[in-house]
Chains A and B, each alone.
Chain A
């Protein structure tokens, strides 16, 4: 999948691994590196930079090489085609040497000065998630952000600003959290559900992030799908028939009402039954209702057969006298 195949052993000398997934959007390799590098120097910790390039980014690699490449503590992992941000983050984690992982976007979302704030909290929490202070953002971005927030809240997330991907994560979190497609937006929520301690802090928004940016329409669609998938997972994973059964039963009920109406008209108003498209609609609704219900039952069967592999709970420890001494 990637050019570099040698995986590093954990190096105690390195305290923080900065993982930067490079996607479509970036604010210039030099500017971003300079900003993050200066911020990291101020913390006084030893660190390394890992750039994960999502597909070929020839000019970006060149720019990084110019900055000093391997000698300046920059390691480059290049995916041969685009796999998405979540895959980049997981790939970066594999190559990281430190216990503390600082995941930052390739564009400046928060001011570099606020990055040490994230790291300060990392001692006590497993995940520290940043949220942008949007007071000085454009109205349009603010509105879009709060919409994303509202959707995420519907999915069970109590964390603000899922779009802000500046986070500090302890390495062991990634032993259990497996990100798929675009789930990295909800990393704090996923970690919290597995029982990790999560803290959210408000960070100052970077100047450059306050400009309005247009996203592709497909981005909105995939974001919506992510939220729907997440909502299903958090709310109905262990009782899927509650979800599908509700939809199926409503359709079935609608079909039955429609059918009763048609039959009623035939009996009392002498409208012939066989020529009525409404009868077709009745059958369609009933069949659809049963099918959706059947999908729900299949989902139940999947959980029934696999529930032991995905328990709803996580045990921290079992204390007995033998090992308690």
Chain B
């Protein structure tokens, strides 16, 4: 049984594989932690896979998961998390931007009873306007999702495996892992971590980006309310449109209009909308019945609270 799984996605990182391995081994050497290091090769075109394989031969704690082709970082993360055997999953970048020495501090927080510990980089060097837009966007996301994440671009995070393996991971979900976790009832803590040079543009907030994120937030909110109440998630829109229909009917009957065609037409439209929404809600319910996955997410918080303070991380 492994205590901690460290998941590192790699894409064309041949010169960094061995360094990541040494850095992780050194960082965790003094801490009595039983861990595995899981490299995910995201279809690299260079010798990343061969390098990683060579490390497997030397170190039994290392595993390599190889993709057939390049599928992107989200997919690599999802695959690594799915394959992880530890009770705690730590994710980090493959380019040594994150400092493995921070891992024990994150793990301490998990030991303290938190379900998710995420790092944030205090010193970031970005252009003023970009940081400003990024901050505003983060504030809006925080408002809607109800979670303020200081630095969503930092991939150094530690989760309880039962939590992260129950979080839906597809499409763009990886951006919303902390809010998703917290809405599932997880306790979240943010820690300041070291950050080394070689900065990516992690704050690409243009208009199209904001608009995409806005759409994603709508769908995630809808999914969450669906996961919690598979039949009732559309109750409010349905009720409102039914009410609108009633109001328009009243207007058609009691309003002093020359013709009732327009008010009656609008009333019909809103009634039909409420019927449509109800029909969709029923179909959604059908999916919830067919697929136990849905109730699993809703029940995550219940599982988590029973898992408080489990000293699984230390060998002793």
Which residues of chain A have a CB within 8 Å of any CB of chain B?
192, 194-196, 238-239, 241-242, 245-246, 249, 274-277, 279-280, 283-284, 287, 290-291, 293-298, 300-308, 311-321, 324
Contact = CB atoms under 8 A, between A and B. Distances in A.
Contacts of A304: 168, 223, 226-227, 293-294
Interface stretch (B16-24, B109-117, B269-277): B269-277
Given A284-B269, A313-B71, A308 B293 contact: yes
Interface in B105-130: none
Contacts, number: 161
A312 B265 contact: no
Given A196-B68, A304-B227, A316-B66, 17 more contacts: A274-B259, A275-B257, A276-B262, A280-B262, A283-B266, A294-B277, A304-B223, A311-B75, A312-B171, A313-B71, A314-B67, A315-B79, A316-B67, A318-B83, A320-B63, A321-B59, A324-B57
Given A283-B266, A298-B280, A239 B168 contact: no
Interface stretch (B192-200, B213-221, B307-315): B213-221
B234 interface: yes
A305 B289 CA distance: 10
Contacts of A294: 234, 237, 276-277, 280
List 10 tightest A-B contacts by C-beta distance, closest first: A195-B68, A238-B171, A241-B219, A305-B291, A313-B75, A239-B171, A274-B257, A313-B71, A283-B266, A319-B64
Interface string B31-60: 000000000000100000000110011011
Contacts of A277: 262
Contacts of B60: 320-321
Contacts of B136: none
A40 to B, nearest CB: 31
Majority SS at the chain A contact face = helix
Contact of B258 (A275, A295, A319): A275
18 contacts: A241-B216, A274-B251, A274-B257, A274-B259, A274-B262, A279-B266, A280-B261, A283-B270, A284-B269, A287-B270, A290-B277, A291-B273, A304-B168, A312-B74, A312-B78, A314-B71, A315-B79, A320-B63
Given A277-B262, A304-B294, A242 B215 contact: yes
A245 B172 CA distance: 15
Nearest to A325: B57
B212 A315 contact: no
Given A287-B270, A304-B226, A324 B293 contact: no
Nearest to A318: B65
B53 to A, nearest CB: 6
Interface of B: 43, 52-53, 56-57, 59-60, 62-69, 71, 74-76, 78-79, 83, 168-172, 212, 215-216, 218-219, 222-223, 226-227, 234, 237, 241, 251, 255, 257-259, 261-263, 265-266, 269-270, 272-273, 276-277, 280, 283-284, 287-288, 290-291, 293-294
A306 to B, nearest CB: 7
Contact of A283 (B168, B257, B265): B265
A315 B65 contact: yes
B255 A300 contact: no
B270 A246 contact: no
A301 B297 CA distance: 13
Nearest to A294: B280
Contact of A312 (B71, B237, B261, B276): B71
B222 A297 contact: yes
Given A274-B262, A275-B257, A287 B56 contact: no
A277 B57 CA distance: 75
Contacts of B212: 242
A297 B234 CA distance: 10
